Structure 1
Amino acid sequence: MSQALAAVQASIAAAESRAGRPIGSVTLVAVSKTQPWEHVAPVLAAGQKVFGENRVQEAMERWGGRREGLELRLIGPLQTNKTREAVGFFDVIETVDRDRLARVLADEIQRAGKAPRLYVQVNTGEEPQKAGIVPAEADDFVAACRKTYGLTIEGLMCIPPVDADPAPHFAGLRAIAARNGVEKLSMGMSDDFETAIAEGATSVRVGSAIFGRRDYALEPKV
């Protein structure tokens, strides 16, 4: 798996070069969710320091004793009843997508006296089964996060529809970010991260290209 990690890192560097961007300008988020530790350990040992997790409890169980020197990102939907744990544990929460969650996050950040970096998730394909604010409401939601709830929004995140050309979705997310003065773009996964880099991604979330395909039967039901 360390060889797979090196191959992904090389592909990211090549995509950065093709896009005329500095080498190292894109952060690789290794998506470790649902992976057994024997798959994650070699990637960690090879020097990977940024990991993405889908569920708060699973992440705390996996990384609780291994937290030092790492950046952990929550890339799955956040339930409001898990906000306290998420704020205390994660460096980045990429899935802010509704007013109630923004309000609870604001309250918890004030209580805790610390704030993870926050991204708004945009449902660029307007798919009913996916989380995320729809594009037409993204500007107002970012403004509300800032003005109503006092949150600092560092970035935007999206997951394009599986069977769609991802490039227009990435370009659309970039346009929303530009309108709203948002600097970071979390977009692109194993099958399309090179396209995402060409469209301005500042971080890519790569799981199967590093760890192999997940066994979805092992994922806990919610």
Structure 2
Amino acid sequence: MTEKDTNLADPALNDIRSKMEKAARIADRKPSDITLIAVSKTRSAEEIRPLIASGHRVFGENRVQEAAEKWPALKTEYPDIELHMIGQLQSNKAAEAVALFDSIHSLDRPSLVKALAKEMDQQDRHIPCYLQVNIGEEPQKGGCDISAVPELLGQARAAGLSVAGLMAVPPENSNPVPYFALLAKLAHDHGLAGLSMGMSGDFESAVKLGATHIRVGTALFGPRTTQAG
């Protein structure tokens, strides 16, 4: 918190936090163990500032280039902001991603393991990563196959990456609960504590099933023309 903060109440933010806390209590979890990532992709700095003024500090972006255009200035102004990369990441963007983000949720292939490990060593900046799993086995989506999790995890650890957990996006227009439960089981079986799962329409179910990070866009910022988080 800085002197620039006005601590103005944001109704949408308060509503999300209230629902998070209720879901956590139902699951006998501590609300403080769950991180709300405000998905700010396609949102301008002017749209983001009111949320910052309300005290929120954790944000997520899908594209390196877009994040590089708006976040360096905001992070200079608010050094305690935490920025998460939640979209697909090209290996040739690894250097920029390591420099800009505080966590990466889309580690899904060996080539990206190598690129990130190289850049983290060169920049001496080791940030946590989440393995993205194609939990619904959808050909159009990013993420490693479920069966590939053990091998990719081993490669990431051998390369010196800090793997905090697993991330997934369930298939659209389907009940997300079985997919959340499967991701939680995968994480447990591989000794991973982090679960990045749940978005605007299903984060309460995700919290009840163990999510440590939820990614909420539309419910915080309102509807937009592109696909929302």
Q: 2:171 aligns with which of 150, 161, 181?
A: 161
In structure 2, the gaps of 5 or more residues are 1-8
* CA deviation map 1:127-155 (0-9, x unaligned): 111100011111221112112x2222111
Q: Distance in 2 between matches of 1:150 and 1:14?
A: 37
> 2:128 touches 2:161 (CA, 8 Å); kept in 1?
no
Q: Distance in 2 between matches of 1:136 and 1:60?
A: 34
Which secondary structure state, in structure 2, belongs to the residue aligned with residue 205 of structure 1?
A: strand
* CA deviation map 1:53-88 (0-9, x unaligned): 001111121111111110000000111111001001
Q: Distance in 1 between matches of 2:176 and 2:209?
A: 10
1:79 aligns with 2:90: yes
> Which residue of structure 2 aligns with residue 8 of structure 1?
16
1:35 aligns with 2:46: no
Q: Distance in 1 between matches of 2:49 and 2:225?
A: 18
Q: Distance in 2 between matches of 1:155 and 1:213?
A: 29
1:189 aligns with 2:203: no
* CA deviation map 1:155-202 (0-9, x unaligned): 110000011111111111111111111111000000000000111000
Structure 1 residue 38, shift from structure 2 partner = 2.9
Q: Distance in 2 between matches of 1:8 and 1:88?
A: 30
* TM-score normalised by length of structure 2: 0.91
1:174 aligns with 2:184: yes
Counting aligned pairs with the same residue, the percent is: 44
> 1:32 touches 1:207 (CA, 8 Å); kept in 2?
yes
Structure 1 residue 110, shift from structure 2 partner = 1.1
* Greater CA drift, 32-41 or 22-31: 32-41
Which secondary structure state, in structure 2, belongs to the residue aligned with residue 65 of structure 1?
A: helix
Q: Partner letter of residue 205 of structure 1?
A: R
Q: Distance in 2 between matches of 1:140 and 1:94?
A: 18
Q: How does 1:1-222 map to 2 (within 5 A)?
A: 2-67=10-75, 68-147=79-158, 149-216=159-226
Backbone CA RMSD of aligned residues: 1.3
> 1:35 touches 1:214 (CA, 8 Å); kept in 2?
no
Q: Partner letter of residue 174 of structure 1?
A: A
Q: Distance in 1 between matches of 2:185 and 2:119?
A: 30
* CA deviation map 1:12-66 (0-9, x unaligned): 0111111111132210000000013332111111011000000111112111111
Q: Distance in 2 between matches of 1:24 and 1:12?
A: 10
In structure 1, the gaps of 5 or more residues are 218-222
Query: How many residues end up aligned between the 2 structures?
Result: 216
Q: Partner letter of residue 88 of structure 2?
A: P
